[in-house]
Amino acid sequence: MRRRSFAKVNIFLKITGTREGYHTLASRFMRVNTLYDEIAFIKKESPSELFEIEGDFSCKTQNNSIYKAYNALVLKSKNPKIKHFFRDYKVKVVKNIPEFAGLGGGSSNAATFLLMANEALSLDLDKGELSSIGATIGADVPFFIYEYESANVSGIGEAVEPFDEEALDIDTFTPPIKCDTAKVYQRYRENYLSDNIDRGLIEELSKMRSKEILTKYDLKILNDLYEPACDLYPDLKRYHEEGWFFSGSGSTFFWILNPNLGSNHG
């Protein structure tokens, strides 16, 4: 079994407050159909109790989102078929999505693994159940579970509402800067968090098509994490060009390959 694990960009990302120690947000996620990892279940040379992940990762196995997804799935479903299957099969990942880049690569991998395991093992878990498992791993996982092209995401990532619009031709550039998401959010909380949240703007953005949003607003208005990310990683400003936007907590910039937006970096 083999499946693509897509990246995403945040068309807009607005922080709406905090809940139980987490930041709540309102955001438009859009899948990047041209940028993806590839995940496969491959037969092991010999059976082993060890859950194996093969791929070019910068973290230890126990910190890998797929490993976390495996453990969460075992804990939630309590189905012995899962451990039995992965005695004989390992997970192989071909990495193309940059890490620490605001593209949701780790969350996408976790979600894709859960979808694949659910199908391969006939666990019969619906998207809501898989999303609940995914939410324990990372805030972006539920979006990837639902496999929407575009969606409004709110809360701490658990509320995912599909948004009906045309897919955009998205191109990305990731500079050689690894942004620590936790540190970026911490800087936002320390220096930028305010009670004066523009709810009207958030409501307007949630109803607009992504192409219209990117035509009307610039990245400082659209992504609340851009300035705190620049505080921590000043070189980000050096890479920004007019007409580029900023995804998640960074460091990826993106643009739309469409001359009607006024900038075509293709």
Contact 131, 142 (CB under 8 A): yes
**CB neighbour burial string for 118-157, b if at least 16 within 10 angstroms, e if fewer:** beebebebeeebbbebbbebbbbbbbbbbebbbbbbbbbb
Residue whose entry in the numeric block shows the structure tokens 């620590």:
180
Catalytic residue among 14, 68, 140, 224: 140
In angstroms, what CA-CA distances link 117 with 70, 101, 122, 150?
A: 9, 26, 8, 24
- Report d(CA 123, CA 212) in Å as an integer: 41
Catalytic residue among 8, 14, 68, 90: 8
In angstroms, what CA-CA distances link 35 with 26, 31, 185, 243?
A: 24, 9, 25, 20
62, amino acid identity: Q
Would you state the structure tokens that stand for residue 252, as one six-digit string? 């990826």
In angstroms, what CA-CA distances link 212 with 7, 81, 124, 183, 264?
A: 21, 47, 39, 31, 16
Asked if 8 is an active-site residue, the reply is: yes
Asked if 140 is an active-site residue, the reply is: yes
Would you state the structure tokens that stand for residue 124, as one six-digit string? 């019969």
Angle formed by the axes of helices 80-88 and 65-77, to 10°?
A: 140
Q: Which residues are catalytic?
A: 8, 140
